[in-house]
Amino acid sequence: MKIIKNIILPIGILSSMLITPITSFSSTPPSYTVYKNVEKSNAQKEVLDVIMKYQKALNAGNTKEIISLYANESYSQWNNLLTADSKEKKEDQYNNLFSKEKFNTDFAIDTIWVDGNTAFVRTHHHNGSVVTDTKEQKTILDLNREVFILHKENGEWKIILYTFNTNPLQGVA
């Protein structure tokens, strides 16, 4: 639990550490605010890369790739399910999910916050994201909002907590 103890911060501290806008990484502006500090903006890119790998693996139904993005000590908390607190439980969770559903998800990145070796990412799904129930061949909109918390271990960003809710309302802070 040492990692988790290091990332729990009061909401007041988090809100005081919000990032300041500057120019984007490319000609297309990102949907989140980029740090002015080059080291921190580079860390944002590294964290974003992990989230995009997660998205690609989710859409491919690739449990093995998703599990490789998690730290050894990590947690997956989904609606209406028990917390998956081991590699085996997360594998079962994703394998069960992919046996029933096929995803076409496109994350909108709302926040990438980095402080040292800890980062959190808030995402939501665009209205074009869908999930298909493979048994009934029924496709529905997938309007999740997610939170990823990552920790940098041995120079590599890993997910230590992933949670989401399926409330389609996308509030703005």
Does 135 reside within a domain?
yes
Cα–Cα distance measured from residue 69 to residue 91, given in angstroms and rounded to the nearest whole number: 12
Output the pLDDT for position 30: 60
Does 171 reside within a domain?
no
Does 26 reside within a domain?
no
pTM of the complete model: 0.79
Cα–Cα distance measured from residue 51 to residue 106, given in angstroms and rounded to the nearest whole number: 11
Does 25 reside within a domain?
no
Does 173 reside within a domain?
no
Positions of E strands within the chain = 70-77, 101-104, 107-115, 118-125, 130-133, 138-141, 145-153, 156-165
Number of domains observed in the structure of the chain: 1
- pLDDT tens-place string over residues 95-110: 999 999 999 999 989 8
Cα–Cα distance measured from residue 27 to residue 14, given in angstroms and rounded to the nearest whole number: 29
Does 161 reside within a domain?
yes
Q: What residues form DSSP beta bridges with 165?
A: 145
Does 28 reside within a domain?
no
- pLDDT tens-place string over residues 19-66: 333 223 333 456 677 878 788 889 999 999 999 999 999 999 999 999
Does 27 reside within a domain?
no
Task: Tell me the residue range of the domain where 90 lies.
Answer: 2-17+38-165
| CATH code for the domain of 161 | 3.10.450.50
Cα–Cα distance measured from residue 132 to residue 104, given in angstroms and rounded to the nearest whole number: 8
Contact 87, 72 (CB under 8 A): yes
Q: Is the dihedral of CA 115, 88, 92, 67 positive or negative?
A: positive
Q: How many CB atoms lie within 10 A of CB 125?
A: 25
